């Protein structure tokens, strides 16, 4: 079975796309994966042999000089260039401040369709995909690519939604936001109609998307082989609290609340320290809000392999969601894939966020974390965990059991493989 995966980001071990897709596909029998990335950067995957990248930078250069290629091919056979973890400062600035002009210009570049070139067609023809697997995302350029590939290959399209990119349950005072939202809704409805199968990432998203698109969506989680529970022994003095993941969508404000609570708990003696591992670029405001030198450490970005070790060395793992109304609407249907990493580490989870959010709702229903649903609960509940090793042990076991029950990778992959094979038989 040959699967052509399409995304906006390069397939890397340390980003969500590479980490999650490698997790769900690697290990399935008789599967071969190629990747089209509608963006810049370079991959670092051993699992995927062939990558084709098309960036707006190369699209614009091709308009000026037709000899300049829109497409860049990466192959494990010729050697995939390994890139440094140093980040592009201009990209980080744009990502932090979310300039609409940049996103408009990026979409504008793809309108010319010079990216529909011989190199792209040859890549697809050589791979001969049996099906296309893509993000369900409100990105005009990605959806243009899917329209082309679906028409060109005539093979089944499978889409996977991670966030609420469709409903109108959002808040913004920007007319540009709403123009884009309504425009993308039309394209996403068409993508849904073209797709043979829609995966989503949470129960809440399944309920809403099944109703919105008039079809039965299926949940697809990340997973691990939950065989032997890691034993937890508290040897850290002070205790080690670890947060890993994106601190955008105002999560940094929640981390600042946790840091402030920890500062109070540490007033007489340093009993616990919070270590933050994130690839999100820090603004000066974020740095100022997290400036508790004795209680908080902002750590360098690390690989997924290093992070797995760090999580198992922790006493408490932190999951933080924003209390900001606008940001809550953005993530209300999302399920954080890093929670599965937390479950697999077999460590106690302390979560902060509203019951209305899919991730918090999931943790609550599975009793897999100690949860502060309100800002006023943070210091009291965190203090309870820091003071009680038996409570930490209790919730470390519950986190592991949640993973064991709901995230066994073999079961997830068997279901995925059967779904995809059924599509091919129907075709």
- Write out pLDDT tens, residues 24-68: 999 999 999 999 999 888 898 889 999 999 999 999 999 999 999
pLDDT greater than 50 at residue 86: no
Nearest to 272 by CA among 369, 384, 187, 186: 384
Report pTM. Answer: 0.91
Beta strands 218-219 and 71-75 are unpaired
**Percent of the chain clearing pLDDT 70 (strictly above):** 94
What is the model's pLDDT at position 85?
Answer: 39
Instruction: Tell me, rounded to whole angstroms, the distance of Cα 238 from its chain centroid.
Output: 31
Give dist(CA 2, CA 17) in Å, integer: 18
pLDDT, tens digit, 9 for 90 and up, residues 325-351: 999 999 999 999 999 999 999 999 999
Q: Which residues contact 184 (CB under 8 A, 6 or more apart)?
A: 138, 139, 140, 143, 165
pLDDT at 88: 52
d(CA 331, CA 154) in angstroms, rounded, equals 33
Tokens of 64: 């000026």
Query: Number of H helices and number of E strands within the chain?
Result: 17, 14
Tokens 């979409």, residue?
A: 107
- Check if the beta carbon of residue 34 is closer than 8 Å to that of residue 51: yes
Residue 194 phi, psi (nearest 5)? -80, -20
SS3 83: coil
The C-alpha atoms of residue 55 and residue 359 are separated, in whole angstroms, by 33
Residue 4's φ and ψ, nearest 5 degrees, are -95, 110
Residue 76: what pLDDT? Answer: 74
Core vs surface per residue 98-115: b (16+ CB within 10 A) or e = eeeebbeebbebbeeebb
Tracing tokens 């405001």 back to the chain, one arrives at: 285
Give the confidence band of 84 by pLDDT, cuts at 50, 70, 90.
very low
| Average of per-residue pLDDT across 193-202 | 97
The alpha carbons of the chain give a radius of gyration, in whole angstroms, of: 22
In this structure, of 75-84, 144-153, 220-229, 322-331, the range with the lowest mean pLDDT score is 75-84
Nearest to 424 by CA among 99, 213, 182, 156: 156
The DSSP bridge pattern shows strands 50-54 and 71-75 to be antiparallel
Cα 162 from chain centroid (whole Å): 7
pLDDT for the residue 40: 82
Could you give the 3-state DSSP secondary structure of residue 131? Answer: strand
Per residue in 154-170, pLDDT tens? Answer: 999 999 999 999 999 99
Q: Determine the average pLDDT of the residues in 396-402.
A: 97
């Amino acid at each position: 079975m040959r699967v052509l995966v399409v995304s906006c980001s390069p397939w890397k071990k340390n980003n969500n796309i590479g980490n999650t897709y490698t997790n769900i596909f690697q290990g399935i029998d008789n599967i071969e994966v190629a990747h089209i990335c509608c963006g810049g950067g370079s991959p670092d995957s051993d699992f995927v042999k062939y990558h084709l990248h098309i960036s707006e930078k190369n699209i614009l250069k091709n308009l000026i000089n037709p000899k300049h290629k829109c497409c860049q091919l990466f192959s494990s056979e010729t050697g995939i260039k390994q890139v440094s973890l140093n980040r592009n400062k201009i990209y980080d600035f744009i990502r932090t401040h979310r300039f609409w002009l940049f996103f408009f210009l990026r979409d504008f570049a793809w309108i010319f369709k010079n990216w529909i070139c011989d190199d792209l067609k040859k890549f697809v023809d050589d791979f001969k995909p049996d099906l296309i697997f893509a993000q369900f995302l409100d990105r005009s350029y990605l959806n243009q690519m899917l329209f082309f590939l679906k028409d060109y290959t005539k093979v089944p399209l499978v889409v996977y939604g991670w966030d609420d990119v469709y409903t109108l349950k959002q808040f913004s005072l920007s007319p540009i936001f709403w123009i884009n939202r309504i425009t993308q809704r039309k394209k996403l409805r068409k993508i849904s109609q073209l797709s043979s199968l829609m995966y989503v990432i949470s129960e809440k998203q399944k309920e809403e998307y099944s109703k919105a698109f008039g079809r039965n969506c299926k949940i697809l989680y990340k997973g691990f082989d939950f065989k032997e529970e890691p034993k937890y022994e508290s040897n850290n003095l002070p205790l080690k609290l670890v947060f890993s993941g994106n601190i955008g969508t105002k999560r940094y404000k929640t981390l600042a609340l946790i840091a402030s609570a920890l500062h109070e708990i540490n007033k007489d003696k340093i009993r616990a320290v919070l270590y933050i591992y994130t690839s999100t670029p820090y603004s000066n405001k974020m740095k100022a809000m997290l400036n508790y030198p004795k209680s908080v450490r902002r750590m360098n970005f690390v690989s997924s392999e290093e992070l797995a070790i760090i999580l198992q060395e922790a006493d408490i793992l932190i999951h933080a969601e924003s209390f900001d109304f606008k940001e809550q609407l953005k993530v209300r249907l999302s399920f954080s894939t890093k929670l599965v990493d937390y479950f697999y580490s077999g460590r106690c989870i302390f979560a902060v966020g509203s019951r209305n959010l899919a991730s918090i709702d999931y943790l609550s229903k599975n009793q897999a974390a100690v949860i502060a649903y309100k800002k006023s609960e943070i210091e009291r509940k965190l203090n309870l965990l820091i003071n009680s090793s038996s409570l930490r042990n209790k919730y470390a076991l519950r986190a592991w059991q949640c993973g064991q029950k709901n995230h066994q990778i073999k079961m997830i992959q068997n279901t995925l493989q059967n779904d995809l094979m059924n599509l091919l038989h129907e075709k």
